[in-house]
Amino acid sequence: LFRQPISNEQITAVRVKYDLPDKYLLDVGAIEPRKNLQNLIRAIASAHIDLPLVAIGGHSKYADEAGVLAQRLGVKLLLRHQIPFVDFPAIYKGAEVLCYPSIFEGFGIPILEAFKSGTPVILSNTSSLPEVGGTAGYYVDPYQIENISRAMLDLHENPNLRNHLIEEGYEQMKKFTLENFAKGTMEVYNSVI
């Protein structure tokens, strides 16, 4: 799906379908404590960024708590559940930035989806994320609200940084092709033999 070009008309249609604003921050994944949505909400409030946060993931108690926190802090949080995967490329393409301050990840597929969509990524400097993000991510400490806030402000205020990370994202994607995966798998098998 992410290999197909996305037109402005497709982005607009998906925005209308899910009642999304013209500009928004994006968070994708299970809405559970390790994904750190509540610290992301605190960081948006701290940075005084006037962009809504669209969080896509399953409904959970943690999501409900995040909704209460966002309301208390004056952050516009749009929780969207059960979005068909076919609409993800347009949602990513329409986002200002993917915010991924996860505390722990086994891999982080949304990062690659954002790179493929030309969407800059703020991500944690923990677990597997630096390996996935390479030089294309804006890294933050997921426990430091001010650190996440600074990243959002930097990407919001600095179009050169934004464009640089988008270009780096396209380059980083090249490391995750099926051909490279097959080559890496064969290297592992050969080293065992």
pLDDT digits (tens, 9 = 90+) for 175-191: 987 666 556 556 655 66
The predicted structure's pLDDT at residue 37: 97
The predicted structure's pLDDT at residue 67: 97
Name the pLDDT band for 142 (thresholds 50, 70, 90): very high
What is the reported pTM? 0.90
pLDDT at residue 19 tops 60: yes
pLDDT at residue 193 tops 90: no
The predicted structure's pLDDT at residue 105: 92
105-135: per-residue pLDDT in tens?
989 999 999 999 999 999 999 999 999 999 9
The predicted structure's pLDDT at residue 83: 95
Cα separation, 84 vs 68, in Å, equals 26
